[in-house]
Amino acid sequence: MQNIRNIAIIAHVDHGKTTLVDKIIHASQIFRENQQFQDLILDSNDLERERGITILSKNVSVRYKDAKINIIDTPGHADFGGEVERVLKMADGVILLVDAFEGPMPQTRFVLGKALALGLTPIVVVNKVDKENCRPDEVHEAVFDLMFNLDATEEQLNFHTLYGSAKQNWMGPDWKNPTNSILPLLDAILEYIPAPKIEEGTLQMQITSLDYSNFVGRIAIGRVKRGKIVENQQIALCKADGVIKKMRVKELQVFEGLGRVKVSEVNAGDICAVMGVEDFEIGDTIADPETPEALPRISIDEPTMNMLFTINNSPFFGKEGKFVTSRHLRDRLFKETEKNLALRVETTDSEDKFLVYGRGILHLSILIETMRREGYELQVGQPQVIFKEIDGVKCEPIELLVVDVPQETAGKVIELATQRKGELTIMEPKGDLQHLEFRIPSRGLIGLRNNVLTATQGEAIMNHRFSAYEPFKGTIPGRINGSMISMEGGPCTAYAIDKLQDRGVFFVDPGDDLYAGQVVGEHSRDNDIVVNIQKGKKLTNMRASGSDDNVRIIPAKKFSLEESMEYIQKDEYLEITPKSIRMRKIYLDENERTRMAKKES
């Protein structure tokens, strides 16, 4: 048996998880002296690099002293909780990384609760102690309190703590005396994280993630819980519905450094990739064919939000994307559910409309952004919160919202949150910021971030996580302003925008090609208005100093994908293509819109 440690790294967004993994990889000298590599080695996906967040969990392994350490990097956003819940099953311990100034944040609590419930041994790393205003000792106390509140056992509460700065490449037991190496962390992993417990019995391995290769198809990844798995061995695949299928292992690989190496057998306790297993799902068990025993399936928290996905049927359909039909859309969405456990897709009574359920706006927007980069064209409706009936009472998801904001703008934030049925539960100073905590309906969060950032000149730091279902809180005011809608198709002119500027804010620039029914701006009042934005200036041979003023246009307001999803109203769609994001009315024709509005009222 080789000496193995399986460890997951969990932390809130931006507390330095991926940087720490980089330093561990460098310390274990996986790379040759002359080898070139980027920072944030594990954030390999383009979207992860652009946004600076981890979306998919990844495995690497390093060799230190006589042990092999399998490291699992996990996402920090609660929206990607499905990723975390399944990979924690592979670990025996966790490194909880906490920022020395911010301390434990709401999403740290979410992931840590899952890890403690699975009985994993924690090591706490207080990172970024080189920051000004940092308060490592207070943060250490806060972590202890958090673990106590999460019902940690006595062994878990007796955790080992290290302080340091992953960026400066050091860790040590005392933050006032920096060491010059990250090795104390690797020593602590060997000393405090238990080796995998090996049970007696026949083969059992739960599939916790999957990979895909163009040569061998889908690859099952998981940790061998007991027994051993051998190349060319006959195995049984235990599925969710109780069906057991017999198969043969074609090839086995274990994680070594940043890649995988082929091996002939894998013993209990190690994480491996199995080729040759077909038709499996995450959560299935690979077992002995003679006495197949399934492991309990991975439980995943329910989604809290859904959106309507439909094909693009705007006048610009098919101009920019490769995949535009309902069959393309259906296949892609159902393929996503294979590996994205927290996502659910339901068909509707229409062939080209699908209801997609997810954990939050970010969870759904990452899927949409990935699809548009792959060449898909689609339209999505306004995000809707999922209501439940509990004991005959209509209930809705409530979230814990945490906002850190400068003292002088705290009042504006409280006002914005309470307008949306938020209840202020905690208000206390935190360094030079004011720390606010609210319990707020998920509905109230849609569109709130934009307003809060505007009110605080972009200085607010907002985080939220799902708390519980509670009785319905009543109606919440949505967007106050109406939309400006293009009257006809064609490029818009600077002259028309200039003349209409007092009516509201525009989202389009002169020369942009538009179609009738497209939302081109926000009206300054609460009703929708149809505008002729294609109108040009009538030219004559006469010139007059009074009427020939230069056109002065305020720059168009541009939205990110998430901002657009939060902005649209019930009667609007977001049209998404590889090159553009446009807002439009569901019914492009003005008469049809009026008729439908009368029907609904």
In order of start, what are the domains of the chain with their CATH numbers?
3-192 (3.40.50.300), 204-287 (2.40.30.10), 388-471 (3.30.70.240), 483-600 (2.40.50.250)
Hey, what are 336's tokens? 């996503």
Q: What is the pLDDT of residue 342?
A: 80
Q: Would you state the torsion angle of the CA atoms of residues 325, 327, 330, 332, taken in this order, to the nearest 10 degrees? A: -80
Contact 73, 57 (CB under 8 A): yes
Where the chain has pLDDT below 70, the residues are 1-2, 28-57, 76-79, 81-82, 542-550
Q: How many CB atoms lie within 10 A of CB 266?
A: 23
- Residue ranges for the known binding site for GTP are 14-19, 127-130
Query: What stretches of 294-350 adopt beta strand conformation (E)?
Result: 305-310, 344-347
Hey, what are 422's tokens? 């938020």
* pTM of structure: 0.79
Q: What is the pLDDT of residue 381?
A: 93
| CA distance linking residue 271 with residue 254, whole number of Å | 6
- Residue ranges for the known binding site are 14-19, 127-130
H/E run at residue 219: strand 217-226
Q: What is the pLDDT of residue 574?
A: 94
Q: What is the pLDDT of residue 330?
A: 93
Question: CA angle, corner 89, sides to 84 and 90, nearest 5?
Answer: 100
| CA distance linking residue 480 with residue 487, whole number of Å | 22
Q: Which residue has the tokens 């200039």?
A: 498
Q: What is the pLDDT of residue 305?
A: 87
| CA distance linking residue 173 with residue 181, whole number of Å | 12
Q: How many CB atoms lie within 10 A of CB 227?
A: 20
| CA distance linking residue 335 with residue 364, whole number of Å | 15
Interstrand relation of 271-275 and 217-226 (parallel, antiparallel or unpaired): antiparallel
Q: Which residue has the tokens 């029907």?
A: 599
Q: Give CA separation, 322 vs 319, 576, 579, in Å.
A: 9, 13, 12
Q: What is the pLDDT of residue 46?
A: 62
Q: What is the pLDDT of residues 361-394, one digit of tens each?
A: 888 988 999 999 999 999 999 998 888 888 889 9
Q: Using N-to-C axis directions, what is the helix angle for 183-192 and 17-27, rounded to 10°?
A: 90
The size of the chain, in residues, is 601
| CA distance linking residue 90 with residue 207, whole number of Å | 10
- Tell me the sheet residues that pair with 402: 437, 463
Q: Using N-to-C axis directions, what is the helix angle for 448-455 and 410-419, rounded to 10°?
A: 160
